């Protein structure tokens, strides 16, 4: 029992108290893939507490004996690909995965940590999904329809993957025609652009010199080009740094997601790093937004 009680010190994939975005999910997927690729799920346990979605009894009967073929990300979903189906995990506001390489009884495991809602056993280690706020979801999607992850993205109603070649200045320009809502709200709409939330929308807009309240239809092609370039750059940089640590976030081997050290506006209260003007804070799309009124027009 003592070995499990120190599991947090052994291996934490994701510990976020703000909604994970594309770089954080990408980090989780890349850390988890080598651990469970080609491994067989031996047991499944779920709590009986309500979340956005949870595995059914049929799902729990299906999973044991299934081999993991791939681990990837689609939007803000972690995708564990099996031969016939996809196991999808959305981390909501507070979800995380915990891995322990100790074989323990499920009942002991779930009593050792609070708010555990899913336990996948792979024989010699366990993967636990913990979600205190229960805004996350766990679900299974059959490959009868979406046979590839690209088709899965369309099936889930997810927008452009911002790091894909298909997402460019022209695409953003045409998508925003006739739309009056704020550009920051647009970027955070997963049905338009996948995986971008408050952190990376704010950081990309600052680097592009675009005010977050700018109506979408006022973006010209030049601004679209600048915004797309900045968004891709910010996301790639964040992935290379393992995401942003908000309170606690670490990779599989315990490393800290250090892109938080490179935030220029998100969560900042001091003056602008470029012009030294006072940063402003306001609520946009139910999210606190920090921006520079001088640099962002």
Q: How many whole angstroms separate alpha carbon 217 and alpha carbon 144?
A: 39
CA atoms within 13 Å, Cβ hemisphere of 189: 15
Terminal-residue alpha carbon distance, the chain: 57
Q: How many whole angstroms separate alpha carbon 39 and alpha carbon 31?
A: 15
Q: Which tokens in the block code for residue 200?
A: 């990376």
CB 39 within 8 A of CB 67: yes
Unique residue bearing structure tokens 């099936």: 155
* H or E element that contains 7: helix 7-10
Nearest to 22 by CA among 91, 99, 116: 91
Residues making up the chain, counted from first to last = 297
Active site residues: 20-21, 76, 287
């Amino acid at each position: 029992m003592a070995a499990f009680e120190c599991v947090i010190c052994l291996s934490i994939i994701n510990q976020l108290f703000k909604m994970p975005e594309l770089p954080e999910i990408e980090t989780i997927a890349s850390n988890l893939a080598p651990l469970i690729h080609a491994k067989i799920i031996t047991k499944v346990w779920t709590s009986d507490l309500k979340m956005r979605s949870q595995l059914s009894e049929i799902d729990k009967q299906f999973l044991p004996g299934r081999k993991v073929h791939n681990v990837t990300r689609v939007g803000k979903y972690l995708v564990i690909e099996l031969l016939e189906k996809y196991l999808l995990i959305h981390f909501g506001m507070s979800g995380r995965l915990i891995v322990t390489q100790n074989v323990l009884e499920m009942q002991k495991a779930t009593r050792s940590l609070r708010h555990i809602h899913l336990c996948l056993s792979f024989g010699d280690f366990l993967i636990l999904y913990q979600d205190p706020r229960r805004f996350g979801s766990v679900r299974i999607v059959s490959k009868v329809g979406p046979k590839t992850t690209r088709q899965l993205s369309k099936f889930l109603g997810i927008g452009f993957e911002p790091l894909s070649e298909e997402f460019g200045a022209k695409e953003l320009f045409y998508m925003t025609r006739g739309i009056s809502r704020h550009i920051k709200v647009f970027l955070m709409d997963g049905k338009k652009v996948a995986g971008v939330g408050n952190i990376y929308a704010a950081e990309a807009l600052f680097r592009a010199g675009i005010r977050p309240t700018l109506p979408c239809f006022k973006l010209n092609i030049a601004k679209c080009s600048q915004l797309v370039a900045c968004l891709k750059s910010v996301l790639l940089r964040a992935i290379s740094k393992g995401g942003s640590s908000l309170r606690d976030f670490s990779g599989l081997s315990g490393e800290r997601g250090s892109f938080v050290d490179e935030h220029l506006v998100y969560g900042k209260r001091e003056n602008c790093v470029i012009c030294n003007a006072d940063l402003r804070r306001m609520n946009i799309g139910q999210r606190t937004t920090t921006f520079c009124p001088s640099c962002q027009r």
